[in-house]
Amino acid sequence: MLAIPPLSLYIHIPWCVRKCPYCDFNSHRADGAPPESSYVNALLADLERELPAVAGRTVETIFIGGGTPSLFGADAIGALLAGVRARVEVAEEAEITLEANPGTAESGKFRGFREAGVNRLSIGVQSFEPEPLRRLGRIHGREEALRAADLAREAGFDNFNLDLMFGLPEQSPDQALEDLQTAIGLGPTHLSFYQLTLEPNTLFHKYPPPLPEDDAIWAMQREGQARLAEHGYCQYEVSAYGQEGFRCRHNLNYWRFGDYLGLGAGAHGKVTDPKTGTITRTWKIKHPQHYLDAAGQPERQGGRKKVERDELPFEFLMNALRLREGFAEALFFERTGLPVEILEPKLSACLDEGWLERRNGFLRCTETGYNFLDNVLQRFLR
């Protein structure tokens, strides 16, 4: 029997000042001001259609991601969150995150986000060095990156994340560590430290920049982890590091195979129905204008599909094995409705070969398994 998992809300804002050459997110250059109020209305109509599937449940976390949600004014974000609260119960202690680009950081705006109920900012810094920032096509420079963290704190965000990338074109391990040290010096509660990847359908994929050698990237990752640990940032997921008590609750719910409604252009959702014992995945039309045009016509706005029983184990593992702590064996049953033995004989093989380990009722990757996570997951593909 499936248990009812915690419920989150993901809200996608699909516009950016311009498109970064490495980015494959559903983000579109805004020609002029984005249509804030019609988009907020479309998001709320989208929410209303999703609500019957989660009747009586409370939203534990909200993540307003992008694109660049900080392009929107505080009034629009205020109207959005008020509209959400008017339609669904939001926990008093809910974590409410908004992604911000340092190039769109303003003190009045950040204060307005805080007043609207946002209690966590995630700031896309990527690097503090002028040359890498230029090559990444970022709209901000070093000073703006430094200032964004100060503005966040001044606006009352004592809980904020900085996104940094490493393995940047021609970056040396020392330069990556220098960026990390600068970020740590700003005192965020959380740091996301992503290796730059060349994603299909991006400019960087078509015209690859000169990336550092594998050994150098490996050194950045290893020494970065050590530096973060020295300063109290504990790695709990492949790219996520948090101070004690500041792991991202929203992302943890994804990785623990919790439920989430996905609102907005291109947003994905996952909802469990314990009565029928089914899990459904939902998605919304990707292009912002098409999404807006289809508002009010659910059949045009997206799709939904039941996750088949034999797809569940891999889907669960793909998320849960990203966590350093792995997962409680009991959670596997609660979230998939299947006994953990269904993973046999592959599970025993991975335990025997030293990819996975079992400890205190938890299954998780060993150090080696974690470094070759894709290979471990491959083993569980049908």
Ligand X SMILES: C[S@@+](CC[C@H](N)C(=O)[O-])C[C@H]1O[C@@H](n2cnc3c(N)ncnc32)[C@H](O)[C@@H]1O
Can you tell me which residue has the tokens 């994603």? 199
Neighbours of 118 (CB within 10 A): 25
Q: Does 68 bind ligand X (CB under 6 A)?
A: yes
Of 272, 297, 273, the C-alpha closest to 42 is 297
* Burial (CB count <10 Å: 0-12, 13-18, 19+), residue 141: middle
Q: Which is nearer to ligand SF4, 23 or 80 (CB)?
A: 23
Residue 291 binds: one of ligand SF4, ligand X, none (C-beta under 5 to 8 A by kind): none
Helix, strand or coil, per DSSP, at residue 105: coil
Q: Does 14 bind ligand X (CB under 6 A)?
A: no
Q: Does 206 bind ligand X (CB under 6 A)?
A: no
Q: Does 240 bind ligand X (CB under 6 A)?
A: no
Of 93, 97, 89, the C-alpha closest to 13 is 97
Q: Does 163 bind ligand X (CB under 6 A)?
A: yes
Residue 293's φ and ψ, nearest 5 degrees, are -60, -30
Token pair of 318 as six digits: 């793909």
Each residue 105-134 as x (binds ligand X by CB under 6 A) or -, in order, gives -------------------x-x--------
Residue 150 binds: one of ligand SF4, ligand X, none (C-beta under 5 to 8 A by kind): none
> Which amino acid does the sequence have at 300?
R
Helix axes 329-336, 312-320, angle to 10 degrees: 130
Each residue 14-33 as x (binds ligand SF4 by CB under 6 A) or -, in order, gives --x--xx--x-x-x------
**Is there a contact between 317 and 377 (Cβ–Cβ < 8 Å)?**
yes
> Binding to ligand X (CB under 6 A): which residues in 37-66?
65-66
Residue 326 binds: one of ligand X, ligand SF4, none (C-beta under 5 to 8 A by kind): none
Q: Among residues 61, 68, 253, 272, which is the contact residue for ligand SF4, using CB under 6 A?
A: 68
Of 83, 87, 44, 81, the C-alpha closest to 61 is 81
Task: Quote the least distance from Cβ 111 to ligand X, whole Å.
Answer: 20
Neighbours of 88 (CB within 10 A): 20
Q: Does 98 bind ligand X (CB under 6 A)?
A: no
Q: Among residues 5, 6, 34, 67, which is the contact residue for ligand SF4, using CB under 6 A?
A: 67
Q: Does 196 bind ligand X (CB under 6 A)?
A: yes
Residues lying near ligand X in the complex (CB under 6 A) are found at 16, 22-23, 25, 65-68, 99, 101, 124, 126, 163, 165, 194, 196-197, 199
